[in-house]
Structure 1
Amino acid sequence: MVFFTNCQKKETKENTVKEEIKKEEVKKAPAAKVAAPAPSPFSTLEQKVGLTDVTIEYSRPSMRGRTIFGDLVPYGKTWRTGANVNTKVTFSTNVTVNGKNVEKGTYALYTVPNQKTWDIMLYKDADNWGNPKEWDDAKVVASITADVVKMPMKIETFTITLDDLTNNSGVIGILWEDVYVGLPIEVPTDAAVMASIDEVMKGSPNARAYYDAAVYFKSEDKDISKAVTWIDKAVEMSKDDPKFWMLRQQSLIHAKAGKTATAIAAAKQSLELAKKAGNDSYVKMNENSLKEWGAK
């Protein structure tokens, strides 16, 4: 009996310990999380502007029947420009905004909406949830006052775009309700490309290097005589396997240099090769150019 009683006590003690362990495990277990869509879903926009990578991270609230500007977003007050955490803009190189140099890095995008204009600001401290507790004008690295453009339709969900792209610039667009405002940025593409061209030309450029340099000079209205020299070298180096797209650029560069006869000859070659390749777009472009240049 004594042995049996002791065994019962031991078993009861073990069960009690097990129950306590289970209770502790329940306490430590993470609470179940419901999978549901966010009211203001997060979005990332990545865009190459010239040679600069621009990344915009932001959350996107929707109108949902509400009046936005002048109500949900008051006029005359600093707005986080989106929802939740800061809207962040990251540049991979230095850029220029409204004549001011902005060093590469990440910035918060803040705005002060008004009926006819908005103040748009890049703010050095990008780790706030919404507006900073204490606003510091010294942390505004660049700002502009942008005109409000009224749109003919409503944009239900807050949207940021990067448009009007050139080799050297772009515009960060902000759209919501029936409002559009833009923040122009300039990027240092030309300096980087010219340095690259100078370095490559010191060595032994291949056909593609000559082609890229020539096309860049044409597109940026630089020394057209150099562009002619480089595109001719690219075409000559590719003569065993001629490319319709390379000959197309040769025709355009020669035409820009006033060399109509050689432009027509190159366009005719490009046209025939484009037909063989079944590229209707290049066929059409060459036909249009030949007509414009009075080819027979």
Structure 2
Amino acid sequence: MKKLLLIVLAITATFSVNAQIVTPQPSPFSKLEQKVGLTQITLEYSRPSMRDRVIFGDLVPYGKLWRLGANANTKITFSTDVSIGGNEVKAGTYAIFATPNETSWNVVFYSDATNNGLPKVWDDSKVVAMVNTKVYPVSEKIETFTITFDDLTNSSAVLGILWENLYVGVQIDVPTDNMVLTNINDVMNGTPTSNDYYAAAVYYLQEGKDISQAKIWIDKAITMAGDKVAFWQLRQQSLIYAKAGDKKGAIAAAKKSLAAAEKAGNSDYVKMNKDSLKEWGNL
């Protein structure tokens, strides 16, 4: 019994020696993933808070390079080549730094993302893009340093930086159109399915491309779908016909989509079709 008690005490002492106090980080780590078109963008950064401090012009001086956050580098990773400020940036991971000023910032994308903060020796050859961007005031105080992806389109996003009482944004352009057109060409030269024709037609409509070609593809998609055609497919057919100037065909497709949406109990598509029919003078 005495031996067992000694073993228990020894184990307890070992746990006591090895135990560590864990506390929250003052600038917690954040990871943000965003799909822009066909490009995956991943952002990793730490988020300091104001804590009653004056940030820009004091804690973060004007005119000096800043690590853009806290702790390790703020890093951004692109799954494809992108364009930033007119500079072609290859797929990969980059550190982001900034030089804040009162009315504008210089935001720098740097090819070496392994530094713990600012590089000990700055190398201009590692600057892959530098963008001068305007400072916009915000009405509400932003307590915690925040980076966002704003104004998303198929071909671009704005990297938004917010803290204290300001916002700055850097546009990132992605090669979605080239990638999609290459993919469409490859598929159409093979054996496209109804879904392929539908996707290509809708993309052409959304991106303002050859609407006559979009009309051919949507018709093939609807014909191939047969009795399984969905109300949302008919909805896109009506929009393509309207864009092509075929109001009669647009109305006919919208009526079919409306009937199918009513049968499916989808109030959103019922409303959209009724709104279009009213716009086209048929309701």
TM-score (norm 1): 0.89
Written as runs of structure 1 = structure 2, the 5 A alignment for 1:87-106 is: 87-106=74-93
Residue 229 (structure 2) pairs with residue 242 (structure 1):
yes
- How far apart are the structure 2 equivalents of 1:144 and 1:275? 51
Residues 44-70 of structure 1, C-alpha deviation per residue, up to 9 Å, x if partnerless? 010000100000000111111111111
- How far apart are the structure 2 equivalents of 1:85 and 1:29? 31
Aligned to 1:44: 31
- How far apart are the structure 1 equivalents of 2:52 and 2:263? 56
Residue 198 (structure 2) pairs with residue 221 (structure 1):
no
Residues 251-288 of structure 1, C-alpha deviation per residue, up to 9 Å, x if partnerless? 00000000100001111111111111111111111111
Residue 286 of structure 1: which of 270, 273, 276 is its match?
273
Aligned to 1:5: none
Aligned to 1:114: 101
Aligned to 1:178: 165
Residues 1-41 of structure 1, C-alpha deviation per residue, up to 9 Å, x if partnerless? xxxxxxxxxxxxxxxxxxxxx8xx96x99742222211111
Aligned to 2:63: 76
Aligned length: 275
Residue 269 of structure 1: which of 256, 260, 266 is its match?
256
Residue 219 of structure 2: which of 229, 232, 239 is its match?
232
Q: Per-residue deviation at 1:242?
A: 2.1
Q: CA RMSD in A?
A: 1.8
Q: Per-residue deviation at 1:239?
A: 2.0
Q: Secondary structure at the match of 1:62?
A: coil
Aligned AA (2:24): P
Runs (4+) of structure 1 moved beyond 6 Å? none
Higher alpha-carbon Rg: 1
- How far apart are the structure 1 equivalents of 2:102 and 2:266? 49
Aligned AA (2:236): Q
- How far apart are the structure 1 equivalents of 2:164 and 2:268? 38
- How far apart are the structure 2 equivalents of 1:79 and 1:31? 38
- How far apart are the structure 2 equivalents of 1:30 and 1:182? 49
Residue 198 (structure 2) pairs with residue 211 (structure 1):
yes
Q: Secondary structure at the match of 1:254?
A: helix
Choose 107-116 or 132-141, whichever is displaced more.
132-141
Name the CA shift for 1:107/1:29 in 2 (closer, same or farther; >3 Å).
farther
- How far apart are the structure 1 equivalents of 2:141 and 2:188? 52
What are structure 1's unaligned runs of at least 5 residues?
1-21
Report the identity percentage: 60
Q: Secondary structure at the match of 1:83?
A: coil
Name the CA shift for 1:30/1:287 in 2 (closer, same or farther; >3 Å).
farther
Aligned to 1:13: none
What are structure 2's unaligned runs of at least 5 residues?
1-9
- How far apart are the structure 1 equivalents of 2:86 and 2:19? 52
Q: Secondary structure at the match of 1:48?
A: strand
- How far apart are the structure 1 equivalents of 2:230 and 2:105? 49
Residue 146 of structure 1: which of 133, 138, 144 is its match?
133
Residue 167 (structure 2) pairs with residue 199 (structure 1):
no
